[in-house]
């Protein structure tokens, strides 16, 4: 079989994307080669541009192209919703019934993966709570073992500070991924959040 | 919801890839942003490089980074295997029992999609057959309605020229995509090819 180096190289990059196998990577590469040059140039620039311009909000840790993201600049920091990943912010924003700010932990506590409280953004959360005199923290980590453990750990830290800590209500099903919950389920879960 | 232009733009490019929806495109974009700068730069260059260096072989129409591809330069043009797409060449090469050259049609005859014999590379096939005094043409278009119709059309064109025209044997199942057939099935299909 003839090996075309430039093709193999592009296929290898596509395979590095999450969930992409060899055949899918080949289809993606063929699409690039079969398209207009302007598509390849635009795609190439979009990757560089996203990597260059997008960083983490110094407040909440979500992706942003500014120093402080739009949500943190405009909304009330008295209520903070704590999530694991930036994509969870997207999911909760779709529910359209939360007006506070977010805090992205970038992970959950996981002894199995050797990730402790100091490896996720808990210190930054405590700083924000004292800086803004936050009244309520909604724990919106995934409803699975690690998400629950992280929520409980943070709740225990915050109780002595007099902060109300709540957890998303029943409605998000056990073992599922927050990212795939539908808007109505997430909206109900926010409405019926309970103190822990 | 805050819109980050550079992120939306990258997500839009990923969505233009075959079979990629919004959530998959977002996961791909997050992977780029979360990786090292060197990954984004390498990816970006790989796209430009593939588009710039890879073109079509002027003989067979397959992808190549030369004027004439490796297969056409080295192998015997007395037997030509005709396929619809470059990915079908990859599939047949894996079967490892074909030593001739390929001819990529870049499509099949499809009245429904308004694609006639002049819209695919049939003229180029006739030129190659007369140039190399080809003895056999194996029609390896997909075993579906369009693939069969295209094979029959080409067979009728070639019969008066005294060229033997064969079709991949039973073994590739009706309605399936050639690209996904396993190596053994394809090898048997090549061995048991029959004249049409």
Yes or no, beta carbons of A9 and B49 under 8 Å apart: yes
CB contact under 8 A, B53 and A6: yes
Task: Give yes or no: residues A94 and A154 share one domain.
Answer: yes
Q: Does A87 touch chain B (CB under 8 A)?
A: yes
A86 and A35 in a single domain? The answer is no
Task: Tell me: do A20 and A83 sit in the same domain.
Answer: no
**List of chain A residues whose C-beta atoms are within 8 Å of the C-beta of residue B48:** 40-41, 44
Same domain as A78, residue A109: yes
pLDDT at B4: 86
d(CA A97, CA A81): 12
ipTM associated with this complex: 0.76
- Give the chain B residue whose CA is nearest to the CA of A92: B1
Looking at the fold, whether B78 and B111 belong to one and the same domain comes out as yes
Sign of torsion, CA A102 A105 A106 A110? negative
| Same domain (yes/no): B103, B190 | yes
Q: Is residue A182 less than 8 Å (CB to CB) from chain B?
A: no
Asked whether the beta carbons of residue B39 and residue A26 sit closer than 8 angstroms, the reply is: no
The answer to whether A58 contacts chain B (CB < 8 Å) is no
B162 to chain A, minimum CA–CA distance in Å? 30
pLDDT of amino acid B157: 94
Q: Do A98 and A130 fall into the same domain?
A: yes
Location of structure tokens 């943190």? A72
The answer to whether the CB of A126 falls within 8 A of the CB of A80 is no
* Rounded to 5°, angle at Cα B45 from B39 and B49: 145
> What is the least distance, in Å, from the CA of A81 to any CA of chain B?
15
Q: Which residue of A has its CA nearest to B65?
A: A4
Do residue A64 and residue B17 have CB atoms under 8 angstroms apart? no
Residue B170: CB atoms within 10 A of its CB come to: 12
Q: For B14, which residue in chain A has the nearest alpha carbon?
A: A43
Residue B126 and residue B167 share a domain: yes
Q: Does B159 touch chain A (CB under 8 A)?
A: no
| Best residue of A8, A18, A44, A74 to probe chain B, by most B CBs closer than 10 Å | A44
- Does B110 share its domain with B149? yes
Tell me which chain B residue has its CA closest to the CA of residue A86.
Answer: B30
Domain that holds residue A40: 3-53
pLDDT digits 0-9 by tens, A118-172:
999 999 999 999 999 999 999 999 888 899 899 999 999 999 999 999 988 766 7
Number of domains in chain B: 2
pLDDT for position A1: 42
Do B76 and B31 share a structural domain? no
Strand B63-64 to strand B55-56: parallel, antiparallel, or no bridges (unpaired)? antiparallel
B101: in domain = yes
What are the start-end ranges of the H helices in chain B?
Answer: 5-15, 22-34, 37-53, 70-74, 86-95, 122-132, 145-158, 183-191
| Tens-binned pLDDT, residue by residue, of chain B (196 aa) | 446 899 999 999 999 999 999 999 999 999 999 899 999 999 999 999 999 999 999 999 999 999 999 999 999 999 999 999 998 998 899 888 899 999 999 999 998 889 999 999 999 999 999 999 999 999 999 888 899 899 999 999 999 999 999 988 766 766 777 787 878 778 777 777 777 7
The pTM is what? 0.75
The three-class DSSP label of residue A173 is coil
* Nearest residue in chain B measured CA to CA from A1: B93
Residues of chain A with pLDDT under 50: 1-2
CATH number at residue B152: 3.40.1360.10
Closest CA to B20 of A37, B29, A87: B29
Contacts of A104 (CB under 8 A, 6+ apart): A56, A60, A61, A62, A83, A84, A85, A86, A88, A89, A121
3-state secondary structure of A96: coil
Question: The domain spanning residue B17 has which CATH number?
Answer: 1.10.8.420
- Look at the block and give the residue holding tokens 């992808």: B63
* Distance separating alpha carbons of residues A120 and A138, to the nearest angstrom: 17
- Name the DSSP letter for residue A67: S
């Amino acid at each position: 079989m003839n090996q075309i180096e430039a093709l193999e190289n592009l296929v290898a990059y596509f395979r590095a994307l999450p969930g992409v196998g060899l055949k899918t990577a080949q289809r993606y590469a063929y699409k690039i080669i079969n398209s207009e040059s302007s598509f390849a140039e635009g795609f190439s620039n979009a990757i560089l541009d996203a990597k260059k311009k997008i960083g983490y909000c110094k407040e909440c840790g979500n992706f942003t192209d500014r120093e402080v993201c739009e949500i943190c600049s405009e909304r009330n920091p008295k209520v903070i919703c704590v999530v694991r990943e930036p994509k969870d912010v997207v999911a909760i924003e779709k529910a359209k019934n939360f007006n506070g700010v977010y805090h992205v932990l970038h992970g959950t506590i996981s002894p199995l993966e050797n990730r402790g409280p100091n490896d996720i953004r808990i210190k930054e959360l405590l700083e924000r709570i004292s800086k803004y005199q936050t009244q309520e923290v909604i724990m919106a980590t995934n409803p699975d073992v690690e998400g629950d453990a992280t929520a409980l750990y943070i709740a225990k830290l915050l109780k002595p500070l007099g902060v109300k800590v709540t957890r998303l209500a029943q409605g998000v099903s056990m073992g599922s991924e927050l990212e795939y919950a539908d808007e109505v389920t997430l909206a109900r879960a926010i409405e019926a959040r309970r103190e822990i």
